[in-house]
Chains A and B, each alone.
Chain A
């Protein structure tokens, strides 16, 4: 197994009596891009903040580049790039001043990379941060993070509110960052299309827990969709092996199933509907099925059984 860059072990966080992150464990290998996906309030930001050492976990622990997030030295912190949700910048600074301000905190600083990254987002160094568009703010904040040449990049919803051109620039920047295979990215996002393009792995978080930890490939090949036309309005979910989520549109039912096998197929044909069809490898529908499934917290698909490394 390859070297692990980011890991969490039974990471748990309570705010008062409210459980926000529930026994989250994962291990992300070096050189990979991981998409952390989940609904608003699922616990993604809290997980990332604990990874960055900005919040103390109630229980469990987490490590980035082999050091517990609660005991980083300033030197270690320089190796980890982090952008917060909303891309905060000091609004009265010019772009070049924000670079000057930021570089004081770091040992390494690559000014050429800064110029290249802001150019990709169409920003000039003389613009005032407060007057930048959201996409440009994302560009500056990403550039400020990348210039310190970190080994790990943790991005909290970087594509929030970005236009298509800025999203493209963001994806290109992420792919460039990992191109030599020695650096690792973890990003939380709602953009499933972007995840499908740039990610190697996904972590799917529902109700404070990780339901899926798999490579994109394993996720797509193990999740499939069945559609069937039925006259009935209810079905017993437990009658279908591997069922993740069932949705009904008129008399057309769609079943998202993990590890569909002979038994699944015969259970589905026992429903006695017409026009039973199978569709494979549909990434976004698979993700949406998991996110829609809130009743039951058991996972059919996790790292151990997926054999996904």
Chain B
């Protein structure tokens, strides 16, 4: 698990961190209950202001991806939905639209895109333990 951030990008640094944590959770690199890197540790590693990490982590808590245990740090939360069905659909559609735009502009065929997307989805869903 390696974080990478770029300053001066169109995505703010805290967003980049939050996105990467979300991705690590989605791919199973960070399992439910596992701790996130400490705020100071990550800030030192990435050479950024610790408040930026605080902001990223608190966004993740708000989105229900991470939970905080007083004095012990931040942990990957059990999957639960904080959004309504329509909001979840809207977010999913937004992400799909981004994929579609890229796929079309990079001239991939429908078969190639759907096969690769399916593979990625299957790999991700395999890592998620079945619902208890």
For chain B, the count of residues having a C-beta within 8 Å of the partner chain is 17
Q: How far in angstroms is the closest Cβ of chain B from A28?
A: 15
Scoring B residues 52 to 90 as 1 if CB is less than 8 Å from chain A, else 0, what string do you get? 100100000000000000000000000000000000000
Candidates B12, B13, B44, B49; contact of A33 at CB < 8 Å: B49
Q: How far in angstroms is the closest Cβ of chain B from A175?
A: 7
Q: Which residues from chain A contact B13 at a C-beta distance below 8 Å?
A: 196-197
Would A168 and B12 count as touching, CB distance under 8 A?
no
Alpha-carbon separation in the docked complex, A197 to B46 (Å) = 9
Would A281 and B7 count as touching, CB distance under 8 A?
no
Q: Which residues from chain A contact B11 at a C-beta distance below 8 Å?
A: 281
Q: How far in angstroms is the closest Cβ of chain A from B43?
A: 7
Q: How far in angstroms is the closest Cβ of chain B from A148?
A: 24
Would B49 and A198 count as touching, CB distance under 8 A?
yes
Interface members, chain A 184-200 (any B CB < 8 Å) = 192-194, 196-200
Closest to B55 in A: A217
Would B8 and A172 count as touching, CB distance under 8 A?
no
Scoring B residues 99 to 113 as 1 if CB is less than 8 Å from chain A, else 0, what string do you get? 000000000000000
Q: Which residues from chain B contact A194 at a C-beta distance below 8 Å?
A: 7
Would B10 and A279 count as touching, CB distance under 8 A?
yes
Closest to B48 in A: A197
Candidates B12, B40, B47, B55; contact of A283 at CB < 8 Å: B12
Q: Which residues from chain A contact B52 at a C-beta distance below 8 Å?
A: 197
A282 at the interface (CB under 8 A from B): yes
Closest to B7 in A: A193
Scoring B residues 8 to 28 as 1 if CB is less than 8 Å from chain A, else 0, what string do you get? 101111010000000000000
Interface members, chain A 279-297 (any B CB < 8 Å) = 279, 281-284
Q: Which residues from chain A contact B55 at a C-beta distance below 8 Å?
A: 217
Alpha-carbon separation in the docked complex, A242 to B60 (Å) = 30
Alpha-carbon separation in the docked complex, A281 to B40 (Å) = 24
Q: How far in angstroms is the closest Cβ of chain A from B114?
A: 27
Would B8 and A196 count as touching, CB distance under 8 A?
yes
Would A281 and B15 count as touching, CB distance under 8 A?
yes
Candidates A172, A192, A281; contact of B47 at CB < 8 Å: A172
Alpha-carbon separation in the docked complex, A199 to B11 (Å) = 17
Would B10 and A282 count as touching, CB distance under 8 A?
yes
Q: Which residues from chain B contact A283 at a C-beta distance below 8 Å?
A: 8, 12
Alpha-carbon separation in the docked complex, A175 to B50 (Å) = 9
Would B49 and A284 count as touching, CB distance under 8 A?
no
B51 at the interface (CB under 8 A from A): yes
Q: Which residues from chain B contact A217 at a C-beta distance below 8 Å?
A: 51, 55
Closest to A225 in B: B10
Would A198 and B12 count as touching, CB distance under 8 A?
no
Q: Which residues from chain A contact B40 at a C-beta distance below 8 Å?
A: 179
Q: Which residues from chain B contact A179 at a C-beta distance below 8 Å?
A: 40, 50
Interface members, chain A 171-185 (any B CB < 8 Å) = 171-172, 175, 179
Alpha-carbon separation in the docked complex, A52 to B10 (Å) = 36
Q: Which residues from chain A contact B43 at a C-beta distance below 8 Å?
A: 175
Candidates A200, A279, A281; contact of B49 at CB < 8 Å: A200
Interface members, chain A 251-309 (any B CB < 8 Å) = 279, 281-284
Would A198 and B48 count as touching, CB distance under 8 A?
yes
Would B12 and A197 count as touching, CB distance under 8 A?
no
Q: Which residues from chain B contact A200 at a C-beta distance below 8 Å?
A: 49, 51
Given contacts A196-B12, A197-B48, 18 further A-B contacts (CB under 8 A): A33-B49, A175-B43, A175-B47, A175-B50, A192-B7, A193-B7, A197-B7, A197-B49, A197-B52, A198-B48, A199-B49, A217-B51, A281-B11, A281-B15, A282-B10, A282-B12, A283-B8, A284-B8
**Would you list 23 pairs from A and B whose C-beta atoms are within 8 A, ordered by A residue?**
A33-B49, A175-B44, A175-B47, A175-B48, A193-B7, A193-B8, A196-B7, A196-B8, A196-B13, A197-B13, A197-B49, A198-B47, A198-B49, A200-B49, A200-B51, A216-B49, A217-B51, A279-B10, A281-B11, A281-B12, A281-B15, A283-B8, A284-B8
- Residues of B bordering A, CB below 8 Å: 7-8, 10-13, 15, 40, 43-44, 47-52, 55
